[in-house]
Amino acid sequence: MELVIEDLSKTYPGGTRALRGVSLKIPTGMFGLLGPNGAGKSTLMRTIATLQEPDAGSIRLGDIDVLRDKDGVRRVLGYLPQEFGLYPNLSAEVVLDHFATLKGITRSRERARVVSALLEQTNLADVRKVNVGGFSGGMKQRLGIAIALLGDPKLVIVDEPTAGLDPTERHRFLNLLSEVGENIVVILSTHIVEDVRELCSNVAIIARGAVRQQGAPDELIAAIQGKIWRLRTTRDALPDLQQRHRVISTRLIAGRPEIRVFADASPGEGFAAVEPDLEDVYFHQVSAAEAA
């Protein structure tokens, strides 16, 4: 199954253009949607999830017209938004059972089987009787994925799922997503490049409401090969360097600033060529969008 988005646009009251002619083809598997806060990622995810209407454009999931057949989409959709509410005084088992009923699994024996299987899959079986108000952030996210997987969805959307998780919970959650994404379409919307690099065979970068680039990570990295340069510098020298060069990112290494510059040839003395990575692709595209 393939998700096809064509020329999707959305402008909010007040004139904010959240989406500007977004077109994407998203195949089965893990797909990373990378973009900074305010890029339009959440607007796009909510639109695909039938929670808001676009001003123009179309979305198809296989044979389903997403914008016209909302009930058809919801039957095959699992959605984990950036923020979601749970019932803190209920156990994980009861919460999942409640959502299974809402999903249309009305037979108690079937529901019990599905709930048990999903708690096992998300590594929550040992805490099935524990009230979710006492869960860690990672445990809540895993319960959120269990809810999203109810009804055997064909499309799963997860919006900024690892923000705020500690490293152990983050890796546990990403491993769970990789298992989920083997046979269905999974969209991972995030600003965390490392999550996409670890999981996704296809990625799109969105900035200022428009798709800047799409493809396999290795292909995107190859496109900027030989064009990323590194320089260790001082804080005092930063403003002048930013004026004279296309600085795409700045980081601290042992307390000293290090800049990475996009240029076709060496920017000058002291600069060293570096092997680009997906983070360089991301910062290159975001900075180009901001400069446009």
pLDDT in tens, 111-140: 999 999 999 999 899 999 999 999 988 888
Could you state, in order of their start, the residue ranges of all structural domains in the chain?
3-216, 226-274
Mean per-residue pLDDT for 96-117?
92
Question: In whole angstroms, how far apart are CA 212 and each of 44, 92, 209, 241?
Answer: 15, 40, 9, 25
What confidence score (pLDDT) does residue 178 get?
A: 87
pLDDT band at 175 (very low <50, low <70, confident <90, very high): confident
Query: What mean pLDDT, rounded, does the chain reach?
Result: 92
pLDDT in tens, 176-211: 888 888 889 999 998 889 989 888 999 999 999 999
Q: Where are the alpha helices (DSSP H) in the chain?
A: 41-48, 70-75, 92-102, 108-121, 137-148, 167-180, 193-199, 217-222, 238-244, 278-291
Q: What are the DSSP calls for 159-184, one per residue?
A: ESTTTT--HHHHHHHHHHHHHHTTSS
**Domain spanning 3-216: which CATH class is it, in words?**
alpha beta
Tabulate helix, strand, coil % of the chain (nearest 5).
Answer: 35, 30, 35
Mean per-residue pLDDT for 241-256?
92
Share of the chain above pLDDT 90, in %: 73
Mean per-residue pLDDT for 53-59?
96
Q: What long-range pairs does 240-248 form, CB within 8 A, spacing at least 24?
A: 246/287, 247/287, 248/280, 248/283, 248/284, 248/287
What confidence score (pLDDT) does residue 210 get?
A: 96
8-state DSSP, 15 = S
Q: Provide the token pair at 42.
A: 């959440």
Place of tokens 């959440």: 42
Residue 85 confidence (pLDDT) above 80? no
